[in-house]
Structure 1
Amino acid sequence: MRITFVLHLFPRGPIGGFRVVYEYANRLAATGCEVTVVHERWRGDVREAMRDLWHGRSQPRLRAAVTWFEIDPRVRLMIVPELKPENLPPADVTIATHWPTARLLPHVKSTPFHLVQNYDTWDGVEELHEVLKMDVPKIAVSGFLARTLEDLGNTTVTVIPNGLDHDTFQPPTTDLPRGDTVAMLISKHPSKGFATGMKALEQVRNKIPGLRVNAFGVRPRPGDLPEWMTYHHGLEGKTLVENVYHRSAVFLCSSSTEGWGLPAAEAMACGTAVVSTRNGGVEDFCTHNENGLLCDSTDSAGLAQAVTRMLEDDELRTKCVEAGYLTAARMDWSASARSLMSFIRAFHSTVS
């Protein structure tokens, strides 16, 4: 079977939604499928567009540019000047992976699917809802997203949760004392709750003056990040695990909305206790007072209290960490890929 995934751009660093697509591409290629991942050339910046043009001239260049993920050599990568049906390769199945790419689906000649990884309302909902209401089979990565799609009138929705790379995201062989240390993903994207998270950490620091923060992100250190926060730029894989997750007692997720919440899942797998907002996706695997602590998405004071409690209550933190290990262990990319393939085959057979 020929399967094409469509991404809206070629990534410049480790991004969770892209990792999900590459994970699926690798696993489907391993089953014998002919898999192509198509990216649209960077637009609006001549320098970045030229960079994409240069990388796109050969498979080795494209693969070398994705330094943070090992893509199976059987997976074909492409960069096209614009996402149009005529620029896509011949395929039996086309999978859109972000709502703007799903606008292609009514016009492709293959069986269309929409992999829904988030509910992107920050740029307005009218066009988003128009796309999400299209009569196309949808794969939601969380129950939160599936319920959102069903509320919009979708009847063909399946939930396939994301997996984890357990060779990378795992507890340390010797877990050294982590102290009063909190990890947090830093992003200025409106969904990530940067201001809420910062307010919470400032309040925690007022109560625990020795607080240390292992902040990390894909972009260079923001200029408004306080000096008392350590910032790790562009870490991925084992370097992220060793320098952030294994050195932090608590992971703080301050997002207003998450389709899934890969960093929180990764933290669980690495023995870092999770404190998170009730943001949708994370609630699929994080249960309050069982394997983490949850607060309302705009409640910085509540987040601060939860982080402080997790740092000071060794019994609670140990309980959440141990339960988190069990939760993360059930996140299996191979099982997710099998579910995806079964869903694809069921619908492709009805229209082919």
Structure 2
Amino acid sequence: MSAITVVAAWNTAVMRITFILPVFSRLPSGGFRVVYEYANRLTARGHRVTVVHEQWYEGWHRPLKHLREIARDRWHDRRPGGLADWLRWMPIDPAVRMTMVTKLDARELPEGDVVVATYWTTARLLPLLAPEQGRPLHLVQGYEVWGVDDPTEVDAVLRSDVPKVAVSGYLACLLEDLGVPRGRVSVVRNGLDHSVYRPPTPDGPRGTSVSVLAGSGPQKGTATVVAALERVREQLPDLRVNAFGAEKRPSVLPGWMGYSRARNGREQASRAYRASAVHLCGSVQEGWGFPVAEAMACGTAVVTTRNGGVEDFCADGRNSLLVDVGDADGMAGAVLRLLRDGESRRRLVESGLRTAASMDWEESADSFLAALRP
């Protein structure tokens, strides 16, 4: 058998791939979406994929919620169609095996060829795998220190001697700064589903309108975004804000701002990005930055903070306007500039569409599959 034949056979060999997720998320989540995208696309290539979720654990300090969430998880897991049918915000290939365990434990994972963990708490299991469970791989989607009592625990997991795939060059550099050898890190950037994220047809005037992803967590910078848009409204009283998010309406939003609780990507695209002339991202830190990429793909001009992940594909003055994290005045000025200058906005939109067009999930899946091989 020639060397070329051996390589071809290896590249087409069926793999048993296990993904580990910390919970079963009933609300849209960018990090979970990446895992499910790969699960679907690797399954379509003929690989055998299992996604293992840990049952929600609220804790006995909130006994009613604790018991309710446990009961709901068990109900979802045992109903016909299982977890795949109850993941309402994203379709899952029926061939993907979706499972739930009471507590994540390396001994409970199935036999396979590779185990992929993403959130830092799940990645702690990777050094504990038995050989028959497969090779470990850490999919790094962010610097996950928000709400963590001791961030050094996160750093210790990131420094572990486990091969890593980072979703952005920003995260790869962060890993290198933590002492991870460059040769242990692959960069596989995320794709976009262009059947969902695209401009409306026809794409008419969008008026004085801004879309924002709003959340209660400090990492999204929602309070700064609100302050910036209050200043924009002082100059443009007819400003319309199309805010959206996975949570109930955040209390920080003033009454004059619209809010849609978006339960899937299609809602986000149709109700926010496509209806807005500008998308404003105020995030403090992003591992990648899906809303910015999605807005570009929907023909919306982008103003964003220099938050790390988006800087992999955002270039100030070329396909977006970038401002410093926490700079409400800078955000307001950039939004006003684009709302008042249609030609500048048009140039950014055209360049943004070209940028987004280069994001392809099939290409990402090819690169991710290559990273799974030893």
TM-score by length of 1: 0.96
One-letter code of the match for 1:258? Answer: E
Larger Rg: 2
Written as runs of structure 1 = structure 2, the 5 A alignment for 1:37-56 is 37-44=51-58, 45-56=66-77
> In the aligned structure 2, how far is the partner of 1:334 from the partner of 1:79?
28
Candidates 48, 55, 62, aligned match of 2:83? 62
For 1:293 and 1:247, locate their aligned partners in 2 and report how far apart those are by CA, in whole Å.
Answer: 19
Q: 1:135 aligns with which of 139, 158, 161?
A: 161
Secondary structure in structure 2 of the residue aligned to 1:244: helix
Which of 11, 34, 37 is equivalent to 1:20?
34
Equivalent residue number for residue 149 of structure 1: 175
Aligned mates of 1:199, 1:131 — CA distance in 2: 36
Residue in 1 aligned with 2:144? Answer: 120
1:287-311 CA distance string (max 9 Å, x none): 0000000000011110110111111
Whether the 8 Å contact between 1:216 and 1:233 is mirrored in structure 2 is yes
Contact 1:257 1:280 in 2 (8 A): yes
Could you tell me which amino acid in structure 2 is paired with residue 343 of structure 1? A
Spell out, residue by residue over 1:259-304, the C-alpha distance to the aligned partner (whole angstroms, 9 max, x if none). 0000110000000111000000011111000000000001111011
**What one-letter code is carried by the residue in structure 2 that aligns with 1:26?**
N
Q: 1:325, 1:291 → 2: CA distance?
A: 8
The Cα offsets for residues 46-65 of structure 1, whole Å up to 9 and x where unpaired, read as: 21111111111256031221
CA apart distance, 1:224: 3.6
**Contact 2:26–2:88 at 8 Å: present in 1 too?**
no
Task: Tell me what 2:92 maps to.
Answer: 71
Give the SS at the match of 2:215: coil
- Map residues 1-352 of structure 1 onto 2, 5 A cutoff: 1-44=15-58, 45-58=66-79, 60-109=81-130, 110-122=134-146, 123=148, 124-155=150-181, 156-345=184-373, 347=374
CA–CA distance in 2 between the matches of 1:58 and 1:29? 23
Query: Counterpart in 1 of 2:61?
Result: none
TM-score normalized by the length of structure 2: 0.91
Contact 1:185 1:217 in 2 (8 A): yes
Q: Distance in 1 between matches of 2:218 and 2:157?
A: 21
CA distance in 2, matches of 1:286, 1:280: 10
Q: Displacement of 1:178 after TM fit?
A: 0.5
| Matched letter for residue 251 of structure 1 | H
- Distance in structure 2 (CA, Å) of the matches to 1:192 and 1:339: 29
User: One-letter code of the match for 1:301?
Assistant: D
* Counterparts in 2 of 1:295 and 1:59: CA distance versus 1, 3 Å: farther
* Cα displacement string for residues 136-177 of structure 1 (whole angstroms, at most 9, x for unaligned residues): 110000010000001111120011000000111011110121
| 1:290-338 Cα deviation digits (max 9, x unpaired) | 0000000011110110111111111110000000000000001000111
Structure 2 unmatched ranges of 5 or more? 1-14, 59-65
The alpha-carbon deviation at position 207 of structure 1 amounts to: 1.2
Are the aligned partners of 1:216 and 1:235 in contact in 2 as well (CA < 8 Å)? no
Looking at structure 1, the residues matched to 262 and 198 of structure 2 have their Cα atoms a distance apart, in angstroms, of 20
Distance in 2 (CA, whole Å) between partners of 1:86 and 1:55 is 24
Counterpart secondary structure, 1:163: coil
The Cα of 1:68 is off from its aligned counterpart by 1.1
Deviation (angstroms), 1:223: 3.2
How far apart are residue 222 of structure 1 and its match?
2.2
Alignment identity in percent?
54
Amino acid in structure 2 at the alignment position of 1:36: T
- The amino acid across from 2:163 in the alignment is P
Question: Residues 235, 81 of structure 1: CA spacing in aligned structure 2 closer, same or farther, 3 A cutoff?
Answer: closer
CA positional deviation for 1:240:
2.2
AA of the residue aligned to 2:162: V
CA distance in 2, matches of 1:48, 1:238: 27
Whether the aligned pair in 2 keeps the contact of 1:59 and 1:76 (CA below 8 Å) is no
Aligned residues: 346
Work out the CA distance in 2 between the residues paired with 1:335 and 1:292: 24
Please say if residues 223 and 252 of structure 2, whose CA atoms lie closer than 8 Å, have aligned partners that are also in contact: no
Counterpart of 1:268, as a letter, is M
CA-to-aligned-CA distance 1:66-91 (integer Å, 9 cap, x gap): 11111011101011101101221212
